[in-house]
Amino acid sequence: MRHCPDSKRGIVVWVFTFAGLLAKLFFFVAGLIGIYCIPLLLVAQHPDAPVAIPIRWLRAHCSHDTAALIYTVVWGVIVGILTYIIIVFDYMRERRKIYYGAPESDKTDVA
């Protein structure tokens, strides 16, 4: 941005903002898929793993459709809690910067 001409700076800011949003969305969705699929893959590979106990219990006591629904709801609750924690952490970090100023590691010398 420092070497960008002023006439193009507005467009460059929008391009980088959009690219950053797409990257953030891509990694968030990749994380969601990982959180959903990794326990299922662990159960298939290692049936005696501790994560397999609730999944085996669901398979033994519920039909396939009900077990999948319960697993998806529990997954959604866990993802919701983790997302909320991330949002609160970011909010608290931004508020700390506003009240106390940016720490020395965040300050850069731009000439």
Digit-coded pLDDT (tens) for 98-110:
777 766 655 555 5
Token pair 């590691």 is at which residue?
105
Q: pLDDT grade, residue 20 (50/70/90)?
A: very high
**Cβ contact 68:80 at 8 Å:** no
Angle at the Cα of 36 from the Cα atoms of 19 and 33, rounded to 5 degrees: 20
Map 10-45 to HEC letters. Answer: HHHHHHHHHHHHHHHHHHHHHHHHHHHHHHHHHHHH
Tokens of 45: 């590979």
Tell me, what's the pLDDT at 97? 78
pLDDT digits (tens, 9 = 90+) for 53-66: 888 888 889 898 89
